[in-house]
Structure 1
């Protein structure tokens, strides 16, 4: 059901009962609770309230002889915020980066000790604003990169603004963006690369497994450096 009233009218192509004629014979409103009001036109107008819109259509539709024409567009589906939990550590680190930037001109060893509650509240509020723009999390690195891009876009929007305050805000957004990109780099999982099995052997030289036993996310290469944790030295292979 719509969350706002939606207007319509009955367009009658065939007067089955011989009472209302053809054309635009009635005007109506569909209410958010699913009920509807219909006002009939003609020399003997009347108004009818229906508890269910579907019943009005079933009674007056006459098997397609009367068409419902909407005057208001169908409302778009509401945006649903992601319900996936955001790691508390990520929220804390974003807020900490914001607080450190706000204290950049203060003595580092004493700044955090003098933080008023309003500074912490503002930092966490802004961290939540960044996290609210993120899609459902697939992995930590992707979330951090997306957050960094949002902060970078904020910096671009502020660029060129007049006044010292605008410049400070731009610098702050750049600082946060760079900090988030560093966190994303730390969180990026290392790709596991296995060495190609030598001729005559079906086993990888790094961990001694067949290609079919390897995880689907791993890859085999004869050129890229081997990053398999089970890598052995040349002496161990002999």
Structure 2
């Protein structure tokens, strides 16, 4: 089995959609017209880079911590507890995502 880049699955889905929209049957044998792969590459070229899940989760955790601080100042410790729990959970999810990315690099 060969290692495929992370975007390979997306490219295959785009290629299949283009083939089917063009009237060609898809049968996973890779015999669709070459243009389908070329069009899929063109679509991928204009898509933005995928977001780093761990970074996004860390940013969300920071927002939740800020909100917890505001709630604490405005309404007290109990009001802030829920936002702190959310921040902690988002931080754990970020760590899990980072570990998953690192494991994927080692494959």
| Bin of the TM-score, shorter chain as denominator length | 0.3 to 0.5
Please say which structure displays the higher CA radius of gyration: 1
TM-score normalised by the chain length of structure 1: 0.21
Q: Which structure shows the higher helix fraction?
A: 2
After TM superposition, the score normalised by the length of structure 2 is 0.44
| Richer in strand (by share) | 1
Larger RCO (CA within 8 A; separation ≥ 6): 2
